[in-house]
Amino acid sequence: MPPANNVQGIDDTGGPQAWFQALPLVTRYWFGAALITTCAGNFGLVSPMRLIYVWDNIWENFEVWRFLTPFLFVGTFNFNTLMALYMLQNFSQRYETEPYNTGAGGGTADYVFAMMFGMVMIFLSYPFMGMLLPTPPMFARTLMFFVLYVWSKRHPTSPTSIWGVEMKAIHLPFAYVILSVLMGGMYSDLLHGIAVGHLFYFLVDVVPIVYGKDMLHTPQFLIDQLGVGAYVAPAPTATASARGGAVGNNTWQPPGRANPPADPARPARGGHNWGSGGQRLGS
C-alpha cells in the first residue's frame, strides 16, 4: 500500500520544491532571489525604478540595496524575461558543477568568488560600457553572460545547442549575441558580460600559464564557510532532532562534507596552503 502521506501514489516530496532544493547552493539562491525580485517589481510590490542601478541614489540617498538588486531584477514580464530566468538557472547550474579552481578545489567557494569578481567588475566597467553602447542599468543578464562565457572557456568542447542548432560550448555566447541582434533585441549587456568574463578567464587561466603568476585567489573566509569542493550542508544535529527536525524515516545522515574534484590543469600554487576542509556553513 502507498504511504499515508501520499495521494494516489504521488510522492509529495517531489515536484517544484524538490527540484528547487536539488539545485546547487549558489544557483538556488541566485535563481530564487531573481524570481522573487522580478515578481515583486512586476506585481507592484516595489517600483522597478527602485531596483535598477542609479549611482546618484546610492551616493546621495544611501540606497545601498541598488548594489544587489540590479543583478536580481530581470525585467518586465514577457517571453524574453521568462527565457532569461530559465537561462540564468541553466547557465549557473552548469558552471557551478565544475568552476575554475581558484583555491577551493573547484567548488562552491570558487564559484562565489567568481560571482563577486564579476559583480564588482560589472559595476566598475559600466560607465565605460555606457559610453560605447546604450546599456540598461540592470545587470542580471550581464552577470548571466559573464557566467556563460566563463563556463564556455572552462569546457570549450562540450556539446550544446541553441534552438536545435548544435555547436561547441565555446561558440554559444556569441551565438546568443548574434541571435539577439537578428531579433532586434538588446545585446550591449550581453557583450558587457562577455568582456568581464574574458577578463576573469585571462586572469585565472592565461596569466598563470603564460606569465607564471596567480592573480586571483578565493578568499580564505569563503573557504572557511563553504569548505573545499562542492558545498554539502551538514546533517541536522541532535538538538534539531529533539525539536522534530527528522530526516527521512527518522534516520540521521552522516555529517556534510565537501569532496574536492581533481583539477590537474590548474598550476601549482607556490607558498599557499589552502587547507583541506575548512569550516562548514552552519556548523
Q: Domain holding 185: CATH number? A: 1.20.1540.10
**Domain residue limits at 37:** 21-242
Q: Which three cell numbers stand for residue 245?
A: 527536525
Q: Determine the pLDDT at residue 102.
A: 93
Residue 64 belongs to a domain: yes
Strand residues in 204-269 grouped as ranges (E): none
Picking from 174, 260, 254, the residue whose alpha carbon sits closest to that of residue 218 is 260
Please tell me whether residue 153 adopts helix, strand or coil conformation: helix
When divided into structural domains, the chain yields a total of 1
Q: Is the pLDDT of residue 283 over 80?
A: no
Each residue's pLDDT tens digit, 238-274: 444 444 444 333 332 332 334 444 443 444 343 333 3
Share of the chain above pLDDT 70, in %: 78
Q: Determine the pLDDT at residue 237.
A: 55
Q: Determine the pLDDT at residue 24.
A: 93
From CA 47, how far away is CA 42, in angstroms rounded?
A: 8
Q: How confident is the model at residue 13 (pLDDT cuts 50, 70, 90)?
A: low
Q: Of 24-38, 93-107, 215-229, 244-258, which range is least confident?
A: 244-258
Residue 261 belongs to a domain: no
Judged on CB neighbours under 10 Å (0-12, 13-18, 19+), 32 is middle
Q: How confident is the model at residue 74 (pLDDT cuts 50, 70, 90)?
A: very high
Residue 68 belongs to a domain: yes
Residue 283 belongs to a domain: no
Picking from 41, 187, 26, 35, the residue whose alpha carbon sits closest to that of residue 94 is 26
CA distances from residue 236 to 15, 18, 215, 221 in whole angstroms, order as listed: 23, 18, 38, 23
Q: Determine the pLDDT at residue 235.
A: 62
Q: How confident is the model at residue 23 (pLDDT cuts 50, 70, 90)?
A: very high
Q: How confident is the model at residue 161 (pLDDT cuts 50, 70, 90)?
A: confident
According to the per-residue pLDDT averaged within each range, which of 22-26, 185-189, 238-242 is highest?
22-26
Q: Is the pLDDT of residue 83 over 60?
A: yes
Q: Is the pLDDT of residue 12 over 80?
A: no
From CA 150, how far away is CA 205, in angstroms rounded?
A: 10
Cβ distance 53 to 68 under 8 Å?
Answer: no
Each residue's pLDDT tens digit, 132-156: 777 888 999 999 999 999 999 999 9
